[in-house]
Structure 1
Amino acid sequence: MSAPTDGRDGAVERALEGVAEMYTGNLQEHGLASKSVGWKDEGSQLLRFDKLSELVTPQSAADGFTVNDLGCGYGAMFRYLDGRFGAGLTGYWGCDISDEMLRAARGFADDPRVELVNSPRLLKRADYSFVSGTFNVKMGAEDDAWRGYVTDMLLHLRDMSAKGFSFNLLSTYVDWKAENLYYADPLWFFDFCKRNVSRHVSLLHDYPLYEWTLLVRTEG
């Protein structure tokens, strides 16, 4: 992780350090389970994967495609994608900032197609990039600083995704908020991606979770 260059970056870096510690603790408490990466149960975790992976076209599934998973945790999304697409998934590159999570992933997602690295940013360009829950926990960072971090990362995802990327965030359409979580206006982020990334953006906010998913296609 690079050294902070201003107050916002310093706040975000401290938040990311707290996130790494939190997920390491979750893993020690819950083991290889959805709760260790912040989801209440496996069903909601799989529903999120369903929404994120709507980005993959039938043609890509037939031809073969590679994936970046930013905040890969213990590798649950690899297992999901392998089960759904099989040999269509030709490469999976997972990044996380918790060494303990990565150690767990090396056992849980033991496959020659898998590469795992400790990094807060993607290191390879893939066909598709997925971000599931990674942007939700801001710890003590202010909302404006965290939104700046997320938008910077979306531009990074644009550059590292040949065909597109998808991500989810907690919605502002809620009646209660936890102080350490980031709740994002889906219309603001739709507009940001439409203006700065691609004309081809789809907002999914019709499933039974207090969040939304954006699918951003960077080809065509």
Structure 2
Amino acid sequence: MKLLEKASVQAFHKHRLGGSNLQAMGFRGPDSQTKRFETLCTWGNFSGCSILDLGCGYGDLKPFLDARYDNFIYLGVDFLKEFVEAAQERLGHLPNTQFFQSDFLTTGLPEVDIVIASGSLNYRSENVLHPWQIISQMWKIAGKGVAFNLLDAEVFGQDEMLCGYIKDEVLTYCRKLDPQAELITGYLPDDFTILMHK
């Protein structure tokens, strides 16, 4: 992703700061976020695992996981400073919880058990290899697996900031890494989830 593209993403979210958390991150509402999180959690039992949340925003995934799993380590990363500061203020006091600002497109990431990305891979990029490079990076640092969602190009309309992906193309690529990679649809009209295990 080019510098100008990154600046556009920052501007997209900063323009929404001051509204609701969901609005700032581009979600339509709490129901769409909850359904995405619920679907990501069908990956399996996260208890006792280390989890990296790529594009964590305000850290909303953390309390969602807290209500379902025990004794996990949560690391949230986002490249927007305002998100990381707000997440740290809200949730940074919790045990086994850490937030840090980083551009995960260009910097190294810690090895963890599970990597999760909810909505953070949908930004447009002139680099046609962009999504595949990120998926490969996620897979490389994950000791147990990966769960992520993307917008469905067959349903999602044209947008200057976000883009959809063809489900079968993404699944085909992921099955080169994990032959048993699973595609989940039907929880939202314009979204799909990929689950991968090692």
TM-score normalised according to structure 2 size: 0.91
> Which ranges of structure 1 fall in alignment gaps of 5 or more residues?
1-8
The aligned amino acid for 2:5 is A
Change (3 A) 1:13 1:176: same
Asked if residue 204 in structure 1 is aligned to residue 194 in structure 2, the reply is no
Say which one has the larger Rg. 1
Query: Contact (CA 8 Å) 1:24, 1:101: kept in 2 or not?
Result: no
Give percent identity, aligned residues only.
24
Q: How many residues align?
A: 194
Query: Contact (CA 8 Å) 1:136, 1:169: kept in 2 or not?
Result: yes
> Which ranges of structure 2 fall in alignment gaps of 5 or more residues?
none
Asked if residue 176 in structure 1 is aligned to residue 157 in structure 2, the reply is yes
Two-structure CA RMSD over aligned residues (Å)? 1.6
Query: Contact (CA 8 Å) 2:9, 2:161: kept in 1 or not?
Result: no
- Tell me the alpha carbon deviations over residues 26-66 of structure 1, each in whole angstroms, 9 at most, x when there is no partner: 223x14x2111110111110110011121123xx53xx111
- Tell me the alpha carbon deviations over residues 151-197 of structure 1, each in whole angstroms, 9 at most, x when there is no partner: 111111011111101111110221732232111001001000111x1
Asked if residue 41 in structure 1 is aligned to residue 29 in structure 2, the reply is yes
Aligned to 1:19: 9
Misfit runs of 4+, over 2 Å: none
Change (3 A) 1:175 1:119: closer
The aligned amino acid for 2:133 is D
TM-score normalised according to structure 1 size: 0.82
Q: 2:85 aligns with which of 84, 91, 103?
A: 103
Asked if residue 161 in structure 1 is aligned to residue 142 in structure 2, the reply is yes
**Separation of aligned partners in 2, 1:19 and 1:211:** 20
Query: Contact (CA 8 Å) 1:201, 1:215: kept in 2 or not?
Result: yes
Shift of 1:208: 2.6
Q: Could you say what secondary structure the match of 2:88 adopts?
A: helix
The aligned amino acid for 1:66 is S
Asked if residue 119 in structure 1 is aligned to residue 82 in structure 2, the reply is no
Q: In proportion to residue count, which structure has more helix?
A: 1
